A and B are shown apart, each in its own frame.
Chain A
Amino acid sequence: MIQAIGRRAVTAVEAVGQVGHFFQDMVRALPDVRTWVGPAIVQMRRVGVDSLPVALFIAAFTGVVLALQASYTFTGAVPLYFVGTLVGKTMMLELGPVLAGLALAGRVGASMAAELGTMKVTEQVDALETLAYDPYAYLVVPRVIAGTLMFPIIVAFAMATGIVTGWLTSLALLDLSTNDFLKGLKLFYVFKDIWFGLFKSATFGFTITLVGCIVGLDTRGGAQGVGRATTHAVVYSAILILVLDAFWAVVLL
């Protein structure tokens, strides 16, 4: 047992070291703009634009559920216009970034891990190095930059969608007027609500893409390894999103 504990400790330290090396190589590749800017646009399209439907779909139903649950909770105790407050605050501060992050961790993180893992096990990465391409500049940096920049944009749309569906739900199902909903929405609004959510989502995007790339480029063992890497990427991303969420809540709120 002692041997197992020691082995796990060494593995954990090695993992930290690998991440450090990975991070160092990625930073070293940043000046090679001409290499990563073209792929970055492609990744921004794939990570950002193509992921919008999923994020908006989740946000739309989240707004509906929030409005209904808020009215269910407030009935008889709290004025109903606080539905607007709860929907707005929750979508901007928490559910918009976190749910979009979790959804995109599955879609983007898994996709990146599988893609890079396949390239790794089929030695395409080695081929790139042979052709004097820096795999970090060509594969990793575009993905991380795309994730970091596009996640806040996706989350901004998700926030707006969730609030709009919450408002429509309030109008249609809760007998709440638009004025009342907007009154609640604006009641405790501060600009920090928005930038906190967007900043948090940027860190989520950075984390998801970084994890996807690390796990993908560390893939071994053929198709089975690719599948395992995909699973790991999703699990690690989801865990890190929740950890980061708590971390930023402690640090920034």
Chain B
Amino acid sequence: MKRENEFAVGIVVIAALALVVVGALWLSGAHLGKAEATYTARFRTVGGLGVGSPVVLRGVRVGRIEAIRLAPGNWVEADLKIYAGVTIPEKPAVIAASASLFGEWAATLTSSEPPPADPNIRQDLAAAQAAGGGKWPGATLPDIGQLTAQASRIATDIGTVAARVQTAFDSQAVSDLRRSIRDFGLIADRLVQVTNEQADVIGNVGSNLRRGSEVLADAAGDLHATLGRVDSATNQGQLATILNNTAAVSTDLRTASQDLRSLMGAANRNQESLVRVLVAADTVLSRIANRSGTLGLLVADSTLYRESALTMIQLRQLLSDIQANPRKYFTFSVF
């Protein structure tokens, strides 16, 4: 009986110990008997990353977080245990991020070449890389708590705005709004009426436009025909001839203009002589008017005119006589 008790107790104890050890190792994801490599990554903060969190490479679990500790220079260092046979990226970087909305975090193994698009991540990785020490650079994405806190702040702001809107829309405001809506309805009715009237006007304008366009079309046709005729009239060099003639006329006009300009210059130059002539003429006319001088006397005294006329007649008779009887008045001899 004693040996039986000891055997039963021993079996149960051994089985329980085996169960606990195997279960704990299995649940923690330990890879017994397989070589694992440990690397250290440096973060400013690890967020929700904890010991045992998965390390994933392109979405595939390739290890786990072995330890997390504070490090000098306000850094946090995390030891990553990577399974054997995993090819590490050439320039590895670690990004800690929430793996789901329910608090699971994972360390994503990635390459720092090319750098990530997110400027904050890029900055964190560069800072961790610059710290040196051969440790992988790490960066942390904001967790869902921070995002929800931001959303909560936005919701609070919206609530505040909504409260203010509610305050602004008291009964008086609602009444004013209702009246405004009613007025707006009236305005809309009038607008409809005006629109209908304008539509009629626009219809008339459209008709006129249509008629105008028809007229324009006819005119265009006529113009086209005219241009056709012009084209036929000028297709044998007539237009060139006309233009040449016009050019010649223009040249002649230019010449005439030059002549006129010369004439005007001469006139300007003779203006003084003309003035003197006019003065002299004026003097002469004045003397004639004053009945002084020969011409004045001739004008004033008709006797002298008659005598002169008579003299002229006699002279003409004399000339006629001379022409008729030259020998009477002229004798030519050589010797």
Q: Cβ of B155 < 8 Å from any Cβ of A?
A: no
Contacts of A186 in B (CB 8 A): 27, 29
Q: Cβ of A83 < 8 Å from any Cβ of B?
A: no
Cβ of B10 to closest chain A Cβ, rounded Å? 9
Q: Cβ of A19 < 8 Å from any Cβ of B?
A: no
Q: Cβ of A235 < 8 Å from any Cβ of B?
A: no
Cβ of A17 to closest chain B Cβ, rounded Å? 35
Contacts of A189 in B (CB 8 A): 27-28, 52
Q: Cβ of B19 < 8 Å from any Cβ of A?
A: yes
Q: Is the CB of A187 within 8 A of B104?
A: yes
* Most central of B12, B23, B24, B102 by chain A CB within 10 Å: B12
Q: Is the CB of A44 within 8 A of B104?
A: no
**CB neighbors of B among A177-206 (8 A):** 185-191, 194, 198
Return the chain A residue nearest B6 by Cβ: A41
Contacts of B103 in A (CB 8 A): 188
Q: Is the CB of A41 within 8 A of B24?
A: no
Contacts of B2 in A (CB 8 A): 38, 41-42
Q: Is the CB of B51 within 8 A of A190?
A: yes
Q: Cβ of A16 < 8 Å from any Cβ of B?
A: no
Given contacts A186-B29, A190-B51, contact A153 B12 (CB under 8 A): yes
Cα(A190)–Cα(B68), bound, Å: 14
Describe A's contact surface by its main secondary structure. Answer: helix
Cβ of A167 to closest chain B Cβ, rounded Å? 13
Q: Cβ of A119 < 8 Å from any Cβ of B?
A: no
Contacts of B50 in A (CB 8 A): 190
Which residue of A38, A42, A52 contacts B12 across the interface (Cβ within 8 Å)? A52
Given contacts A156-B19, A194-B23, contact A44 B9 (CB under 8 A): yes
Query: What sequence of 0s and 1s flags, for each residue 208-224 of chain B, a beta carbon within 8 Å of any chain A beta carbon?
Result: 00000000000000000
Q: Is the CB of B102 within 8 A of A45?
A: no
Which residue of A42, A82, A150, A160 contacts B102 across the interface (Cβ within 8 Å)? A82
Total A-B Cβ pairs within 8 A: 59
Residues of chain B touching chain A, judged by Cβ–Cβ distance below 8 Å, are 2, 5-6, 8-9, 12-13, 15-16, 19-20, 23-24, 27-29, 50-52, 100, 102-104
Cα(A185)–Cα(B52), bound, Å: 13
Query: What sequence of 0s and 1s flags, for each residue 148-182 of chain A, a beta carbon within 8 Å of any chain B beta carbon?
Result: 01101100110110000000000000000000000
Q: Cβ of A127 < 8 Å from any Cβ of B?
A: no
Cβ of B3 to closest chain A Cβ, rounded Å? 10
Q: Cβ of A79 < 8 Å from any Cβ of B?
A: yes
Contact-residue size bin, chain A (C-beta under 8 Å from the other chain): 20 to 34
Per CB-CB distance, the 9 closest pairs between chain A and chain B, nearest first, are A153-B16, A45-B5, A189-B27, A44-B9, A156-B16, A49-B8, A156-B20, A49-B12, A41-B5
**CB neighbors of B among A14-44 (8 A):** 38, 41-42, 44
Return the chain A residue nearest B103 by Cβ: A188
Return the chain B residue nearest A187 by Cβ: B104
Cβ of B13 to closest chain A Cβ, rounded Å? 6
Contacts of A42 in B (CB 8 A): 2, 5
Contacts of A153 in B (CB 8 A): 12-13, 16
The 21 listed contacts between A and B (C-beta, < 8 Å) are: A41-B5, A41-B6, A42-B5, A44-B9, A48-B9, A48-B12, A49-B8, A49-B9, A79-B100, A149-B13, A152-B16, A156-B16, A156-B19, A156-B20, A157-B19, A159-B23, A160-B23, A189-B27, A194-B20, A194-B23, A198-B20
Q: Cβ of A223 < 8 Å from any Cβ of B?
A: no
Cβ of B100 to closest chain A Cβ, rounded Å? 8
**CB neighbors of B among A46-75 (8 A):** 48-49, 52
Cα(A78)–Cα(B2), bound, Å: 53
Cβ of A243 to closest chain B Cβ, rounded Å? 26
Contacts of B52 in A (CB 8 A): 189-190
Cβ of B45 to closest chain A Cβ, rounded Å? 20
